[in-house]
Structure 1
Amino acid sequence: MNYRVLGKSTLKISEISFGGMSLTGTPVEDTRLLLEALDRGINFFDTADLYGKGANEELLGKAFQGKRAQVIIATKAGNQWRKDGSGWDWNPRKEYILSCVEGSLRRLQTDYIDLYQLHGGTMDDPIDETISAFELLKQQGKIRYYGISSIRPNVIREYISRSNIVSVMMQYSLLDRRPEESCLPLLKEHGIGVLVRGGVAGGLLVDKPAVPYLNYSEKEVRYAAAALRKIAGPAGHPARTALQFVLQHPAVTSAVVGIRTMPQLEDALATAQMPPLSEMDRRYLAESLPANTYELHR
């Protein structure tokens, strides 16, 4: 496994990281998968208080009992469940974030969170108040670093200029190259690490039937998947090639992969052992479709 420093932090994280949201097995099965990932070199595990109404955090907390020093845990806050359980509402207020961290610490069975992330963000938020909450939590030692999970260029720019974020989690893949236009170069310039989610576009680049995706037609999606298979070769694995495509962008620190099964874990681990794509192959993939750009939140 290769490791990279996340932004301006001291966190040295695996370039393939474990996205806990996808875990859907029994507690025993999921725990075995988490521990196998750790034993095989994955040290960065991402979750959120939203996932399973906290159950996902509880799972990680139990799985890593006695192994806390070996793992780097990231979780998120900002989505508040309604009392009737019918859904959640956005709440980036300072008071709410300060209360959320207590629940996450309890469920994760730890006294600190390595990376605490705002689980979204809009231009209508009280951004300075939100930042103040994260800074206070750093001072208190409850979190080591903080970042945001957002795809909105206008929001990302505000946090770059007004906060000490060390990371941004965002969707990026061969079918979603919107971050390339401005976000990735800006984050690279400011030394802020990028955590990529959606690197295989929900499976459309791997094994799911083609359907329209963002501004791409079904035909274009099929063409992109075919381009990946061509580069991967007859005995290759499109998922690994798709992840290599995003990992080779100089702004990207790690690809957060949703892992549910042992074969998926093996595939993710094998990605880290692959030689880098050649410049010719990466260019071929990039030119297989016209790059899309953000239409909103610019």
Structure 2
Amino acid sequence: MKYKTLGRSGLEVSEVGFGCMSLGEDRAVNKALLHQALDSGITFFDTADLYQKGENEVAVGNAFKGMRDRVVLATKVGNQWRPDGSGWDWNPTKAYILQAVEHSLKRLQTDHIDLYQLHGGTIEDPIDETIEAFEILKAQGKIRAYGISSIRPNVIREYIKRSNIDSVMMQYSLLDRRPEEACLGLLQEQGIGVLARGSLAQGLLVGKSPKPYLGHSEKEVAAAAEAVSRVAGNQRSVAEVAARYVLHHPAVTTAVLGIRTAAQLQDALHVAEAAPLQEQGIEELKRAVQALRYEQHR
């Protein structure tokens, strides 16, 4: 496993991270899977207070009780569940963040969160107020670093200008190359780490039946998957190629892969062990599918 420093935070994180959103409801199974990942070298675990109405954080906290110093825990805030459980509303206010962090700390059974992330964001948000909340929590020692989870270039630019974020989590894959156009170079230049999610494009790059995806037609999705398979050949798995495409960009610190089963964990570990793609392979993948551009939030 390769490890990198996340932005300017000083946090050392595994190049492949464990996306906890997909975990099931069986606590024992979850605990065993999370422990196996940690024992295999994965140290970065990403959850959110939104997932399973907080139960995802509970599962992660329960699994790592007594071994907190071995893991880098990331969670997210900003989506507030309604009292009747009918859904959630966007709430990036200072008051809510300072309240919500206490619940996340309790569920995670820890006195600090390594990376606290705003779970979304719009240009109309009270951005300075949100930043102030994160800075207060950092000064209090309740969080070590903070970032945003956003694909919106205009929001990302504002946080770069107005805050001390260490990371941006964004969707990035061969079928969603929008970050290459507007964000990755800027974030790399600013020393801000990128946490890539959705690297397998909902499984469409690794064997799932093709269907329209974002702005791509079913035919284009099939062509991208075929290119991944060609580059994989007999030496690599398609998951290795799809994830290694994302990791080839120097702005990307970690590919956060959703893991629910032991087989998915093994796929993630194979990605971690795999050699980087050669430039020839990268170019073949790029030729196979046209890069999308952000049409909104520019």
TM-score, scaled relative to structure 1: 0.99
Match runs of 1:92-131 below 5 Å: 92-131=92-131
1:45 aligns with 2:45: yes
The answer to whether the 8 Å contact 1:25/1:260 transfers is no
Counterpart of 2:95 in 1: which secondary structure? helix
**1:193-228 Cα shifts (integer Å, max 9, x gaps):** 000000000101012110001111000000000000
Deviation at 1:235, TM superposition (A): 5.7
Match runs of 1:1-298 below 5 Å: 1-234=1-234, 236-298=236-298
Counterpart of 2:156 in 1: which secondary structure? helix
Letter in 1 for 2:72: I
Deviation at 1:76, TM superposition (A): 0.3
Letter in 1 for 2:8: K
Q: 1: CA distance between counterparts of 2:148 and 2:173?
A: 19
Deviation at 1:101, TM superposition (A): 0.2
Q: Which runs of 5+ in 1 are unaligned?
A: none
Q: 2: CA distance between counterparts of 1:110 and 1:289?
A: 44
Matched pairs, number = 298
Runs of 4+ in 1 over 6 A off after TM superposition: none
Deviation at 1:74, TM superposition (A): 0.2
Q: 1: CA distance between counterparts of 2:9 and 2:234?
A: 40
TM-score, scaled relative to structure 2: 0.99
Deviation at 1:135, TM superposition (A): 0.3
Counterpart of 2:288 in 1: which secondary structure? coil
Percentage of pairs with the same residue: 64
Letter in 2 for 1:36: Q
Q: 1: CA distance between counterparts of 2:236 and 2:179?
A: 27
Counterpart of 2:202 in 1: which secondary structure? helix
**1:257-297 Cα shifts (integer Å, max 9, x gaps):** 00011111111001111111110011110111111110000
Deviates more, 1:91-100 or 1:286-295: 286-295
Counterpart of 2:215 in 1: which secondary structure? coil
Q: Which runs of 5+ in 2 are unaligned?
A: none
Q: 2: CA distance between counterparts of 1:207 and 1:278?
A: 22
